[in-house]
Amino acid sequence: MNLLIENRGKVRVMTLNRPEKRNALDTALTQELLKQLRVADAEDGVDAIVLTGAGQAFCAGADLAEFKDLADSTAAAEARAELTMQLHLIFSKMTTPVVTAINGAAMGGGAGLALAGDLAVMGEHAKLGYPEAKHGIVAAIVMANLARQVGPKAAFELVSLGEPIDAGRALALGLVNRVEPEERVMEEALYLAEKIAAVSKPAMAHTKSLFYEVLDLPLEEALQRARDVNRKMRGFRKP
Q: Are residues 40 and 115 in the same domain?
A: yes
Q: Is 132 a catalytic residue?
A: yes
Which residue type, as a one-letter code, is found at position 230? N
- How much is the pLDDT for 74? 79
Domain count, the chain: 2
Q: Are residues 163 and 95 in the same domain?
A: yes
Residues 20, 66, 82, 132: which is the catalytic one?
132
- How much is the pLDDT for 205? 94
3-class DSSP state for residue 239?
coil
Q: Are residues 126 and 227 in the same domain?
A: no
Which of 27, 129, 42 minimizes the C-alpha distance to 86?
27
Q: Are residues 160 and 210 in the same domain?
A: no
3-state secondary structure 154-201: HHHHHHHHCCCEEHHHHHHCCCCCEEECHHHHHHHHHHHHHHHHCCCH
What are the tens digits of pLDDT across the range 21-71? Answer: 999 999 999 999 999 999 999 999 999 999 999 999 999 999 888 776 666
* CATH number of the domain that residue 125 is part of: 3.90.226.10
- Residue 67's domain comprises 3-196
What are the tens digits of pLDDT across the range 104-119? Answer: 999 999 999 999 999 9
Q: Are residues 180 and 232 in the same domain?
A: no
Q: Are residues 231 and 136 in the same domain?
A: no
| pTM score of the predicted model | 0.94
